């Protein structure tokens, strides 16, 4: 098999027009999936849900404390 034949067969895989990286839509879908999973964990009555809920409450409390008096 010659190099020319290999390039013809696999040219579409390594073509310069191939999209690289994720699009904004893919990032939105990923973010939505993560939010759904975290929401389901926080809503559950399991110990893991309590830990996740407590962690987010702590993050928001700390953020409110640090930005309290400054504009």
Taking only the tens place, the pLDDT of each residue in 5-51 is 776 666 655 555 556 677 888 899 999 999 898 778 777 777 776 77
Kindly state whether residue 33 falls inside one of the protein's structural domains.
yes
Q: What is the span of the domain harbouring residue 40?
A: 17-66
Please write the tens of the pLDDT for every residue from 45-69.
Answer: 777 767 777 888 888 888 778 765 5
- Number of structural domains (the chain) is 1
- Give, in degrees to the nearest 5, the angle at Cα 42 between 22 and 64: 85
- Count of positions (residues) in the chain: 71
Kindly state whether residue 3 falls inside one of the protein's structural domains.
no
Kindly state whether residue 30 falls inside one of the protein's structural domains.
yes
Kindly state whether residue 11 falls inside one of the protein's structural domains.
no
Whole-angstrom Cα distance, residue 18 to residue 70? 47
- Which of 30, 56, 32 has the alpha carbon at shortest distance from 43? 56
Kindly state whether residue 28 falls inside one of the protein's structural domains.
yes
- Collapsing DSSP to helix, strand or coil, 64 comes out as helix
Where are the alpha helices (H) located in the chain, listed in sequence order? 3-10, 24-43, 47-66
């Amino acid at each position: 098999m010659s190099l020319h034949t290999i390039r013809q067969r696999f040219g579409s895989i390594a073509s310069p027009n191939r999209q690289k990286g994720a699009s904004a839509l893919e990032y939105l879908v990923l973010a939505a999936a993560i939010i759904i999973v975290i929401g389901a964990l926080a809503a559950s009555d399991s110990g893991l849900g309590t830990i996740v809920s407590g962690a987010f409450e702590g993050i928001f409390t700390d953020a409110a404390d640090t930005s309290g008096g400054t504009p």
